[in-house]
A and B are shown apart, each in its own frame.
Chain A
Amino acid sequence: AQSVAQPEDQVNVAEGNPLTVKCTYSVSGNPYLFWYVQYPNRGLQFLLKYITGDNLVKGSYGFEAEFNKSQTSFHLKKPSALVSDSALYFCAVRNGDRTSGGYNKLIFGAGTRLAVHP
């Protein structure tokens, strides 16, 4: 079975400081990893994804994420946080193994609330 863990319920950062939102995953086949953001009373918006290749992927609004296969992690980062980055962030994994029962399932973590203070 595949799963995603986001160990922090909330991350607090001062504006202008770097931020990291942590994500670890478990999947039997090749992982396809995604980050989404949710603003209040809205649906989820796609930020970035890792499919293959370079371990550092860049996405929308200055966010980037680093894939680490040995640590099964896909942490979201941003060099300089903005107050407008305050939102709920979700990590997700899709199982790319066609022989497993979980092929095509898109599974999300519990979410991490990011609070950026002026």
Chain B
Amino acid sequence: NAGVTQTPKFRVLKTGQSMTLLCAQDMNHEYMYWYRQDPGMGLRLIHYSVGEGTTAKGEVPDGYNVSRLKKQNFLLGLESAAPSQTSVYFCASSYQGVGTEAFFGQGTRLTVV
């Protein structure tokens, strides 16, 4: 049972380059989330989705775009990477309902130089 899988696990980008982070879940979850984790800042919500074809902004959406074309996948895009986007990115998913816990992927460590 794979759970939540993030691809890639590590990446180094040059300033101005673009990339897409892929999150895939095999639990048939409705909700999916993208967070970034920075020292002293905890996890900050970038974007989230409550179902296929829907997305919404979180706390820190600027510089990122997302898409949820298939229920099992949630893509996070960086159109023009900046050093401030150096972070560890986590994807999470959960069943529908505010009382359900989220399941997390192992994270993607992104460095922008």
Contacts and interface: CB of A to CB of B under 8 A. Distances in A.
Interface stretch (A13-21, A69-77, A79-87, A90-98): A90-98
Contacts of B107: 41-43
Given A43-B106, A46-B103, A104 B31 contact: yes
Interface in B60-113: 90, 92, 94, 98-99, 101-107
A109 B42 contact: yes
Contacts of A96: 98-99
Contacts of B41: 110
B80 to A, nearest CB: 26
Number of contact residues on A: which range applies? 20 to 34
Given A32-B98, A51-B99, A95-B98, A104 B104 contact: no
A51 B85 CA distance: 34
Interface residues of B, number: 27
Contacts of B33: 106
Given A95-B98, A96-B98, A110 B104 contact: no
Contacts of A9: 40
A108 B99 contact: no
A105 interface: yes
B101 A105 contact: no
29 contacts: A6-B42, A32-B99, A36-B104, A41-B107, A42-B106, A43-B90, A43-B104, A43-B105, A43-B106, A43-B107, A44-B43, A44-B90, A44-B104, A45-B104, A46-B102, A49-B99, A49-B101, A90-B43, A94-B98, A94-B99, A104-B31, A105-B48, A106-B33, A106-B45, A107-B45, A108-B44, A110-B40, A110-B42, A111-B42
